[in-house]
């Protein structure tokens, strides 16, 4: 009857009887004596114990107690101290003349002892039997350049997925060598020699004493930096797990949801489509599992099976290659373009106006709805219907009658297939009376494929004739030659309104005109030129608008000229008999030129630079702020300012008047001549120049300089 003991052998918890325990203890003691003079004795013993524990645990099967034969079999694999000359190990119970040669299986590890970055290339070179690691590194760099950087994340994934060879046994398995006592000892002693050589080289360069101190400081700094870097890597890994996991779940849900649409949209067969999905499933899933295992190994010291990392790497690479091939096959189906065209005779329209209306939808009520980027896609009635794949162009007709033509474009693996795909869609336009009925989209029958089909319609309108689009189809009009483009008066923004074709282009016949009370929007202007006896108010607002108040006949006298950022309102010297008032709302105010016009009010702005030029008997009142305001006042004009600025420059002549005591400015420069008058409130510095007949008064705390 033997005693039963529980021991820890190289990190493996083992239940062992006393005979086996005494035998393995004597064996380890003989190994310890054998390497008593070696600097790496402790590391050799740790690796040998770990290897013994692995062999014994693996060979136990379902048994729970380690017996003497188990220990003897493990020792035979590892080798005895007296057998280190390289003789083959005898198999227990076999003929003494029979020898057992153990051929170990290679395992993929990262070689951190020969690492430039993460040891991936060194590990792969050892695994595939490369004598020089440099060729593997050159290969990775070349692949990164050829793939436009793809192999950079591939390297990072291998860095994460492939475990490092930390023990001598793992470094031996990386090269396919037997991890026995002799090889483990040799590997550790070689590592110690490499380390000693590096230390000696460092010491010879830096000096023995200074080298030791510097090495200690450098080692401490590297330890701190390493721990901070490890913390950052762990945080990034956890974030990647959540991000990839969310994308993984979303991808599965999207695939399940998209089942009814796959037969229409996938350029591949059903089997290839499902294979592509599973490729993507593994491409996202394997990095997630790898990151979880890495975190478990780093934080919780969980040791996963050695084969798991290699297996996941191979599986990921296979799925990646498969998906790349499938994507390449899919793109082939969209390589060429083709089109079919037809026209329609609209000579039967007995009206000056062509009404373009929606023909309605013919899909049954039993259908699914799927929205992609706001475009509705419907499956039902054994067909796929797509909206917003119709583009309408309106142009001037030279034939003197309405014209209609349509072109359907599609893609395919070749020109013939692309033309066939274009012909496979159903889009029927028809004429009823003076109305042209158009679908808002097209449909594809079951069994046919979607290949980016698009319908482009061109409608020609003769001079003097009209065209009107209903609310649905007005949003399909994307190309129009407008007589005077104004975003407010486009077909898009005016469904149901009639547009008349002119020699200059299309214009809205019953839309609010620029300056009408109903007119809103349009592009903004920030430079204003006013000429004529009418009042103007310029008000800060988020949107631009302009309107006139007064008798219609008087309002028609005022002409508006738009050029770039400049808006000119002028009567061209004509006299206005009534009171006309112009209200301009605009986000930005930069310059005003008021030439012999009526009263002008400016309010609500906060600008960087602004300029006002006034000529003749004009009264201007300003309630706004400006960092830098420039005033040029000529003639009997009057300007009153309330607000703030950093700098103000004013030039007055011919009896101009500036009242700016309500305007606080830090610096001012004023020039007054010919009986002009100015009053300003200046805080820091004022530079003044005036002739004998003019008057410039400065209030506030400014230092005044005459020039």
Residues 667/640, Cβ–Cβ less than 8 Å? no
| pTM metric for this prediction | 0.46
Q: Cβ(297)–Cβ(304) under 8 Å?
A: yes
- Angle subtended at Cα 177 by Cα 174 and Cα 181, rounded to the nearest 5 degrees: 115
End-to-end CA distance of the chain: give it in Å, rounded: 121
Domain with residues 512-706, CATH architecture: 3 Solenoid (2.160)
Q: With 0-12 CB in 10 A as exposed, 13-18 as middle and 19+ as buried, what is 237?
A: middle
Residue 8 exposed, middle or buried by CB count within 10 Å (0-12, 13-18, 19+) = exposed
How far apart (Å, rounded) are the C-alpha atoms in residues 707 and 703?
A: 13
Angle at 694 between CA 693 and CA 696, to 5 degrees: 150
Question: What pLDDT digit, counting tens, does each position of 146-173 carry?
Answer: 665 566 677 777 777 778 876 666 766 7
Ramachandran angles phi, psi of 468, nearest 5°? -140, 135
Question: Residue 1 to residues 18, 65, 70, 284: CA-CA distances in angstroms?
Answer: 10, 14, 18, 56
626, 562 Cβ separation under 8 angstroms: no
pLDDT of residue 629: 95
Q: For position 180, what pLDDT does the model report?
A: 58
Count of CB atoms within 10 A of residue 540's CB? 16
pLDDT for the residue numbered 474: 85
What is the model's pLDDT at position 188?
57
In sequence order, what are the residues at sequence separation of 6 or more whose Cβ sits closer than 8 angstroms to the Cβ of residue 652?
631, 633, 658, 670, 671, 672, 673, 676, 677, 678, 694
93 burial via Cβ count (<10 Å: 0-12, 13-18, 19+) = exposed
Task: Map residue 178 onto helix, strand or coil.
Answer: coil
User: What is the side-by-side order of every strand in the sheet holding 454-461?
Assistant: 336-345, 403-412, 454-461, 390-396, 477-480
Check: CB of residue 625 under 8 Å from CB of residue 606. Answer: yes
The four Cα atoms 604, 610, 611, 614 give a dihedral, to 10 degrees, of: 0
Residues of the chain falling short of pLDDT 70: 1, 34-41, 44, 79-105, 116, 144-152, 166-169, 171-172, 176, 178-234, 237, 257-261, 263, 295, 297-304, 306, 361-376, 379-381, 388, 484-488, 512-523, 578
What distances in angstroms separate CA 23 from CA 68, 94, 183, 196, 695, one per listed residue?
7, 20, 22, 35, 118
| 426, containing H or E segment | strand 425-426
Closest CA to 304 of 292, 314, 316, 315: 292
What pLDDT is stored for residue 593 in this prediction? 95
Pairwise CA distance, residues 157 & 177, whole Å:
27
Q: Strand pairing of 375-380 and 454-461?
A: unpaired
Cα–Cα distance for residue pair 167/40, rounded to 1 Å: 13
């Amino acid at each position: 009857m033997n005693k039963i003991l529980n021991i820890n052998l190289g990190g493996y918890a083992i239940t062992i009887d006393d005979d086996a325990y005494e035998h393995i203890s004597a064996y380890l003691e003989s190994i310890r004596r054998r390497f008593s003079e070696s600097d790496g004795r402790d590391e050799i013993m740790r690796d040998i114990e770990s290897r013994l524990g692995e062999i014994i645990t693996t060979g136990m099967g379902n048994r729970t107690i380690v017996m003497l034969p188990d220990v003897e079999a493990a020792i035979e694999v590892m080798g005895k101290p007296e057998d280190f000359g390289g003789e083959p190990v005898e198999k227990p119970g076999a003929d003494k003349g029979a020898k057992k040669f153990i051929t170990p299986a290679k395992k993929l590890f990262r070689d951190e002892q020969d690492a430039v970055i993460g040891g991936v290339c060194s590990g792969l070179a050892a695994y595939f039997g490369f004598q020089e690691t440099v060729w593997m590194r050159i290969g990775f760099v070349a692949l990164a350049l050829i793939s436009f950087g793809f192999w950079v994340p591939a390297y990072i994934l291998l860095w994460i997925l492939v475990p490092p060879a930390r023990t001598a046994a793992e470094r031996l398995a990386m090269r396919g060598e037997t991890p026995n006592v002799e090889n483990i000892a040799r590997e550790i002693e070689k590592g110690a020699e490499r380390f000693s050589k590096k230390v000696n080289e460092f010491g010879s360069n830096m000096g023995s004493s200074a080298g030791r101190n510097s090495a200690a400081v450098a080692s401490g700094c590297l330890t701190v930096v390493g721990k901070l870097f490890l913390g950052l890597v762990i945080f990034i890994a956890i974030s990647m797990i959540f991000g990839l996991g969310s994308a993984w779940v979303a991808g599965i849900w999207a695939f399940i949801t998209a089942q009814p649409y796959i037969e229409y949209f996938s350029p591949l067969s059903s089997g290839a489509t499902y294979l592509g999905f599973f490729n993507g499933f593994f491409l996202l899933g394997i990095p997630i599992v790898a990151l979880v295992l890495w975190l478990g190994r780093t934080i919780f010291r969980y040791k996963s099976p050695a084969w798991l990392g290699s297996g996941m790497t191979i599986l990921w690479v296979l799925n990646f290659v498969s998906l790349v091939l499938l994507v390449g096959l899919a793109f082939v189906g969209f390589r060429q373009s083709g089109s079919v065209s037809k026209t329609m005779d609209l000579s039967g329209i007995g009206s000056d106006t062509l009404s373009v209306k929606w023909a309605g939808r013919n899909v049954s009520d039993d259908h699914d709805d799927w929205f992609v980027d706001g475009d509705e896609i419907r499956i039902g009635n054994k067909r796929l219907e797509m909206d917003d794949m119709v583009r309408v162009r309106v142009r001037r007709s030279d034939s003197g009658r309405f014209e209609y033509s349509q072109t359907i474009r599609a893609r395919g693996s070749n020109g013939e297939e692309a033309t066939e795909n274009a012909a496979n869609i159903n889009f029927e336009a028809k004429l009823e009376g003076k109305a042209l009925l158009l679908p808002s989209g097209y449909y594809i029958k079951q069994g046919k494929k979607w290949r980016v089909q698009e319908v482009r319609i061109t409608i020609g309108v003769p001079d003097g004739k009209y065209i009107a689009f209903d609310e649905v189809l007005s949003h399909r009009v994307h190309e129009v030659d407008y007589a005077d483009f104004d975003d407010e008066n486009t077909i898009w923004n005016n469904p149901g309104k009639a547009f008349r074709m002119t020699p200059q282009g299309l214009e809205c016949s019953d839309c609010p005109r620029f300056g009408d009370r109903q007119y809103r929007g349009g592009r903004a202007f920030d430079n204003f030129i006013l000429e004529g006896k009418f009042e103007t108010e310029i008000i800060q607002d988020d949107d631009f608008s302009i309107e006139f108040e007064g008798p219609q006949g008087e309002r028609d006298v005022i002409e508006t000229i738009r050029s770039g950022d400049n808006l000119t309102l002028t009567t061209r010297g004509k006299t206005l008999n009534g009171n006309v008032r112009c209200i301009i709302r605009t986000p930005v105010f930069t310059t005003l030129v008021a030439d012999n016009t009526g009263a002008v009010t400016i309010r609500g702005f906060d600008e960087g630079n602004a300029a006002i030029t006034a000529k003749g008997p004009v009264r201007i009142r300003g309630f706004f702020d400006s960092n830098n305001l420039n005033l040029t006042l000529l003639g009997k004009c009057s300007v009153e300012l309330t607000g703030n600025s950093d700098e103000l420059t004013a030039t007055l002549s011919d009896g101009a008047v500036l009242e700016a005591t309500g305007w606080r400015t830090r610096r001012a420069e004023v020039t007054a001549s010919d009986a002009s008058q100015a009053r300003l409130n200046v805080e820091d510095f004022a530079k003044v120049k005036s002739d004998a007949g003019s008057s410039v008064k400065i209030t506030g705390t400014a230092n005044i300089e005459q020039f």
